[in-house]
Structure formats: structure tokens, C-alpha cells
Amino acid sequence: MLRAKIHRIAKADELLREILSVCPERRIRPGLEHIQSTLDYLGHPEQNYRNVLIVGTKGKGSMALFSASYLSGIGYKTGMFTSPHLQEIPERIIAEGNRIPVQVIWEKFWRLREKWETGIIPRLTFFELLTTIAVVWFAEQKMEWVVWEAGMGGRLDATNVLPKDLVLISLIGLDHTEWLGNTHRKIYLDKTAVIPDTAVPAVFSRQKHFVTHWAEKDFPGASIFGRDFAWKPIKGQLWEYTGSQKMMLKLRSLGTFQRDNASTILRGMERLWGNLQAKGVECVQNAFLPGRMELIQREPPWILDGAHNPDSFRALVKELHRLFPRQKWLFLVGIQATKPSNKMIPLLESLADCFVFTDVPGALHPSNPEEFVKYTSKPHWVFPFPESLSFSQNSGKWVCVTGSLYLVGAVRNELKLPIPRLYGR
């Protein structure tokens, strides 16, 4: 009966609406049993390629792109799975730089739905569904390596069912505390639970000092930033990586935190093969992920940055200070209700000329932007989106859009900014 309902869907927004009507994104069910049972039924297509898994709080998406760019650059057919998407759902599943077609997602969704409606497999959540579709499509596309960005956690994240050849751990901070725990220790234990054993190389990016101490004690065979690899600034955007090798790099991606991310994946590639290949390093330098310190206009400057927790707000402020000394900004801010806006907005005060607070289009946890005004002493306005964007455009001020990747994606859509090809030959 369900098979007869499969029809052609041409637009990604229609696809997303249809899937969300059956699998609401806000319905979260930690656990591996459902996706494990589904992969058992499908014959374990995830065993057809090698996998890099990236967990952490900040920097996972950039690490995923750097990893996929390197692997593709040295000749491997490489897939990449990330979340959330900025503008369209196919951005989450990429094979050799090509986004999965909308119709392919639609057809695979219906086939899986048919199986769970008839009791053959368990009903899947939104994230489990997309992970399963990615697993199958990457096998069909004959990928040799796939880079996976975990969702919000680690131990019970759907991506943890995958066999792992390399685990990368980005900066660990306080986020999704309602699910992962309200201390750094609890979140650290959840995310590092994906490291299967000492036979699988693990690399920890720059961490808070106490997290580094835990990692050194718990994972003696892992590579630790600051002990086993590091980087230092040279001049301007030029910096030097030191691991098994030394080399100079200049990233297209803005932000010194991107050097932490790039250094981590380079160390991961050293752990896999010993030496780095020049073509792979070149591809890392050229990689760029939209919505992360993205300069979309120069006169006056407009920056889009999907910072959405206190640690990423601190990194944003540091980079704006570094790149644009003494400059004041109009901050167009939208923050989901589950985030600590009371701790985030004050971090922007030192750089703020004024604030425009807005709602977050498509937010899983909508907030009331009127609540944000209590956290600033600077001039401020509150407008619904997209009026907030129009007001900011007409201000003539230097503008930074931040607070949520969903807001950044909505701005890119409203401005009709194209989705670039991220990597691949």
C-alpha cells in the first residue's frame, strides 16, 4: 500500500516537510537497538567502506570537511555525513562532493517506512533514518572512506554502530546537557565512549586542560593536542603544523580555531599512514564550510557564523577581535530555547554596537526573542525573521549573524546564496 504512494519530489523543502510529518526531528530516542536491527536486516552495508567518526561539541563539521577533503585529495572515493544542514537536507549526505539527490532520499525513506509499518524493522527517528539512508547510499556509490559527524552525543548516537578506523574528538564543552549530562565529565565520558579499543587510533583536538588530563589518563595510546601535535602562528594567515612532520599551511577558512581542527585531522591522517601527502594537505587548505566565519560581503562586512553555545561564542568574539580590531558590530542573533542565552549574549557585549534579536526559522526548540533583551545594555531591536534581516541590511553597519546554524541557513536562503561544492574531483 505504501509503495503506491511513492511519487516524484523535486524540491528539498517539500522532501523535508514530508519526512518530518512522519519522523519529527525533535523526537529524540537515545539508543542503538533500532538502527542496529535495521542494519542487520539490510545486511550491514556499512562494512563496505572504512570510516572516520568525529565526536565533540565544537568544530565537528569543519573537521569532517577537512577529513573528507584530504581523503578525496589523495585518491579515495570519499563520502561525508554531517548535520544539521544549512539550506537543504541533501547537504547532509555527500559522495565525492555530490549531494545525494532529493528523489533518492525520498525513495529510500518510503522503502524503510514500508518495512517499519509492516513490523520488519523498528520505527526510526529522523536522525536514525538519515544515518541509515547514508549508510546504504555510500555503499551503492562504492565509497572507499566515509567521514561521519556524530549527532549530539557519542555513546548512544546512531553513528556509533559503525565500524571505526579513526576517531577524532573535537573540543568538548557544555551543550545538550538535558541529554548528555550537566558537567564536562559526564559529556566527556559520553562522547569518548565511541573509542572502541586501543587498536583504533584516536586524536583529541585542543581541549580544556582538565579534559586533556582525563584523555591522557584514559587513552594512553591516543594523540593529544599539545603533547603529540600542535601548531604555531607564523604571520597573518600562515601557520606551522608540527606532528610527525612539520609544514607550513594557510587555510581558506577564517578563524584560528580552524587551525585546531585542521591540525587534528592531519594528525589523524598521520596515525593512519605515517606520512602526509602534499595533495591531501593542499585540499585541506582549500576547504571551506559555509556558515562558519563566512564573509559574505566586504563593504560593509557581513559575517555569518553558526556559533550556538558559550564556547563557540567565545571563539567568535576572539576571532572578530583578531581580524577586525576595535570594530563594533550589529549582531543579528537568534538562539534556540534550549541554549543558555543568558550566558551567550553578554559575551558579545564588548564588540556590540547594537543587537537585533529574532526568531530562529525551523528551530526545533523555538524561543521568544523578547526574552533576550534583558541580557544586554546596548541598543537593541526585536523583529521576526525575515524583517530582522531587512532591518540589518538597511542599517549600513558591520553585521554579524550568529546564535544558530538554522538562522545562518535561513539568511543564506533569503539572500539566495548558492550551496557550494565542498570537495571532490
Cα 93 to the center of its chain, rounded Å: 12
Q: Please tell me the distance from the alpha carbon of residue 45 to that of residue 153, in angstroms, as a whole number.
A: 23
pTM: 0.92
Cell 546596548 belongs to 378
Question: What is the reported pLDDT for 155?
Answer: 87
Question: What is the reported pLDDT for 101?
Answer: 94
User: Would you tell me how many other CB atoms lie within 10 Å of the CB of residue 374?
Assistant: 9
Does the pLDDT value for residue 185 go beyond 50? Answer: yes
Question: What is the reported pLDDT for 31?
Answer: 76
DSSP 225: B
| Secondary structure of 15-51 in HEC code, one letter for each residue | HHHHHHHHCCCCCCCCCCHHHHHHHHHHCCHHHHCEE
Q: Please tell me the distance from the alpha carbon of residue 348 to that of residue 351, in angstroms, as a whole number.
A: 6
b/e per residue 326-356 (b: at least 16 CB within 10 A): eeebbbbbbbbebbebeebbebbeebbebbb
Which domains are assigned to the chain? 3-286 (3.40.1190.10), 294-414 (3.90.190.20)
Summarised one tens digit per residue, pLDDT across range 34-87 is 999 999 999 999 999 999 999 998 899 999 999 999 999 999 999 999 998 999
Cell 560593509 belongs to 300
Question: What is the reported pLDDT for 13?
Answer: 80
Question: What is the reported pLDDT for 1?
Answer: 40
Summarised one tens digit per residue, pLDDT across range 60-75 is 999 999 999 999 999 9
Question: What is the reported pLDDT for 2?
Answer: 44
Q: Which of 150, 200, 110 is nearest to 30 (CA)?
A: 150
Cα dist from 178 to 181, 184, 193, whole Å: 6, 13, 18
Does the pLDDT value for residue 3 go beyond 60? Answer: no
Q: How confident is the model at residue 28 (pLDDT cuts 50, 70, 90)?
A: low
Q: How confident is the model at residue 178 (pLDDT cuts 50, 70, 90)?
A: low
Lowest mean pLDDT among 9-13, 267-271, 356-360: 9-13
